[in-house]
Amino acid sequence: MSTGEAARIVVLPGDGVGPEVTSAALEVLDAACHAGGIPIAVEQRLVGGAAVEAEGAAISPETFERCRQSTAILFGAGGAPRWDHLTGDARPGSALIRLRRSLELCVNLRPVRVHPGLEERSNLRADVVRGCDLVVVRELAGGIYYGERGRSGEGPEERAFDTMTYSRAEIERVASAAFDLARTRRTRVVSVDKANVLTSSRLWREVVTDVGRAHPDVALEHALVDSFALRLVQRPRALDVVLAENLFGDILSDLAAALSGSIGLLPSASLPAAGQPGPALYEPVHGSAPDIAGRGIANPIGAILSVALLLEHSLHHPDAAARVRVAVDRVIADAVLTRDLGGTAATAEVTAAVVAALPS
């Protein structure tokens, strides 16, 4: 993207509360970009169940191509029980999987921060979570989710298998991302594996150790996933960057969501490897929440903080990203909160408050 050229943002609102929270995020993105003189061009496209009904697939070829050519993708949420019977490309969740795989989005960032004033909303004691600020770096393109799988036999002899495989290159690229991120934070990485049992984890540990030697300014610690899960809820404040393969990262990042007080607060970024061209994808980690869709009460903070990640990683404006985060903190401090956080504010009220709180 040349200087002065507008960044192309493809917005995929999706299903359930997706359209509501992406609309809120776009308001904040527009305000932040206007204040910072950042040119953007936004295009909205159908995805998920909405696309199935209108276009016959969870993501149409035209939408996929627009995403591929974009600077960044902002995703809302996909799916609802009404489409659970669908399979293949008609399944709403297949759109996100296809985007991740085809765009080679191998590094998933899931920041977890306990905002001042929300400690009492956590599932854990306030004194345990106060000041917690960590990032789970999850490998997103390999592992057991993409390995060989199958079923065979009948009756008592029926079997099923899923295969976890990793190459050295796959581990190196996500480990490098974790160490580079740690350099901008508190210079500590905990790499999580199951090296006492799994051969793939033993390779994981070896490669991460090698990458760590190239980052001598970052402290590296290895941990087994089972004992680390306990540590995550007992001493989360001591953690900085948590590196994990796909399955373990998926589980641990959802567990870490319990620290914050609401999954509605949490953003994520799915990035290509360093130096690889192409767009990144940003989304709140919550689902489509069809039970509250259309009621105007969904928490927009996760989507708004996903916009902060977009500003930082795809538009390369960390100053604008910081202003969005400051505004969110101000709104939370002023107790403008949705129902999941014990407040009464509507989605639109929280969004308007964040826009008004944006520092110039």
Q: For the domain that residue 163 is a member of, what is the CATH number? A: 3.40.718.10
Residues 336-343: what's their mean pLDDT?
Answer: 96
At 271-311, the pLDDT tens digits run 999 888 899 999 999 999 999 999 999 999 999 999 999 99
Tell me the catalytic residues: 145, 194, 226, 250, 254
Q: CB under 8 Å to 162, separation ≥6 — which residues?
A: 144, 147, 148, 149
**Residue 354: pLDDT above 70?**
yes
- Domain range for 248: 111-271
Bridging pattern class, strands 267-272 and 159-162: unpaired
> Within this chain, do residues 65 and 163 fall inside the same structural domain, yes or no?
no
Residue 34 is which amino acid? H
pTM of the model: 0.94
Of 249, 271, 293, the position where a domain reaches its end is 271
pLDDT band at 172, cuts 50/70/90? Answer: very high
On whether both 116 and 265 belong to a single domain, the answer is yes
Q: How many Å separate Cα 327 from the centre of its chain? A: 20
CA 191 from chain centre, in angstroms, equals 18
Same structural domain, 152 and 85: no
Shared domain for 257 and 122, answered yes or no, is yes
> Tokens at residue 198, please?
């799994």
Does residue 59 share a domain with residue 9? yes
Can you give the pLDDT at residue 275?
Answer: 83
pLDDT computed for residue 299 by the predictor: 97
Two tokens at 32? Answer: 């932040």
Q: Which of 271, 291, 319 is the last residue of a domain?
A: 271
pLDDT-derived band at 3 (thresholds 50, 70, 90) equals low
Verify that 164 and 233 share a domain, yes or no: yes
Residue 258's contacts (CB-CB under 8 Å, 6 or more residues apart) are 122, 123, 124, 233
The tally of domains found in the chain comes to: 2
Q: Which two tokens stand for residue 165?
A: 């495989």
